[in-house]
Structure 1
Amino acid sequence: MPSLIAKTPLEGTWPVTHGGLTLAEVELTRVTSVSAPKVGRDLAAGLKALGVSFPKPNQFTGFDAVRMVWTSMDQAFMIGGDPSGLSGAVMTDQSDGWACLRLEGAGADQALMRLVPLDLRRDAFPPGAAARAPLNHMQMILMRLEPDCFELLVFRSMARTAWHEIEEAMKSLAARAGLV
């Protein structure tokens, strides 16, 4: 029986920095799709025990160990955390299907706005905001963690393409800053 070696979607890709922006892979432990047409008492109690709540549209709750990210009507992704204590929802393991990239530094919103058709300025997309949107031709789930820090969930199969697109936007901004 062959022995397989687990690898992250961007294995061997190191963090890159251009200008004041840094792009890095975030290794996901577990991603669970939680679908609940009605967030009942059992589900709410289970989420509360994990330190999160079911997010409102275009938001996420929690931060470090467990995060609930709105993904569509009546659906959220639980990142991290053990969903076994939850009841009152339909859950699906999504762990192997997604990659996570973190872009941080002054101007992160400017780099992403070259690729994403959303207003990502702080007033329009503050920390705690989430959106399901295209990144050029790929779908993603975008979260603003801090004023100058974003995380992007992209399909695992598109991780290297997303990395390339974001790095090119970073290089463009750095080159433009060098001209001023």
Structure 2
Amino acid sequence: MVEMLSPLQPVWRPGSHGNFADGVGVVLSETQPGSIVQAAAWPGSERAVIAAIKTATGLSLPDGAGGGVATEAKAAFGFAPGRFLIVADDEGLADTLVQAIPISDGTVTDLSHGRTAIRIAGVKAEWVLQKFFAVDFSLPALPVGSGISTNHHDIFAQIQRTGPDRFDLYVFRSFARSFWKMLCHGCDEVGYEVR
């Protein structure tokens, strides 16, 4: 395994930052999963691809965009009709999915080298994210496991709620440093910790 340097390294500042008058509002971290993969189903093959994802990962996705499932080691969600993002701690998920999804049903793209995974967690996580994205991040609107694709200006992001107060964001590696700096500035007023 070749260890890839994080694009956040030049701006990574562990510790506590911002306004702590009311305690720590959020915790920011980079999760560095081993695999970030996109599966796309051809029209009419959505259910076959969902079944193949379950066979390959054990994750049971609901039918349709937005629904998802998250465990500590793996997560998946639909972010558009017939499009799914699957993440795992282990490497090699793309190869496993290529074997599970026949070309007649869809395609598999390994995004591991092109995405950076950022986690924001804490009581103010929803509030901070709503500063950047025109999305309702409340628990009823975006239940645990669910995900979306959206953008902040020109920065595309895929976001999955992986806990009641926890979100995993996947951004293009080339925009990660800029996005991280912006996210840190957005967290200043609630106090944040980088771990």
Please say whether Structure 1 and Structure 2 have the same fold, judged by a TM-score greater than 0.5. Answer: yes
> Which residue of structure 1 lines up, in the alignment, with residue 21 of structure 2?
none
Correspondence for 1:25:
30
Aligned to 1:178: none
Q: Secondary structure at the match of 2:135?
A: coil
Deviations 1:11-44 (A, max 9, x none): 3624454433111111021122211121355861
Q: In the alignment, which of 78, 83, 102 is matched to residue 97 of structure 2?
A: 83
Q: Which whole-Å CA distance do the structure 2 matches of 1:41 and 1:119 have between them?
A: 30
1:14-163 paired onto structure 2 within 5 Å: 14-18=13-17, 19-37=24-42, 38-39=45-46, 41=48, 44-45=51-52, 47-55=54-62, 56-80=64-88, 81=93, 82-88=96-102, 89-163=106-180
SS across alignment from 2:181? helix
How many residues get paired?
Answer: 172
Following superposition, the deviation at residue 128 of structure 1 comes to 1.7
CA-based RMSD of the aligned residues comes to 2.5
Query: In the TM superposition, what is the alpha-carbon distance from 1:67 to its structure 2 partner?
Result: 2.1
Contact 1:46 1:85 in 2 (8 A): no
Change (3 A) 1:6 1:46: closer
CA drift at 1:73: 1.6
Could you state the TM-score of these two structures normalised by the residue count of structure 2?
0.77
C-alpha distance in 1 between matches for 2:140 and 2:15: 27
Percent of residue pairs identical? 23
Larger RCO: 1 or 2 (CA < 8 Å, sep 6+): 2
Q: Mean Cα displacement is larger for which, 137-146 or 14-23? A: 14-23
Q: Classify the secondary structure of the residue corresponding to 2:46.
A: coil
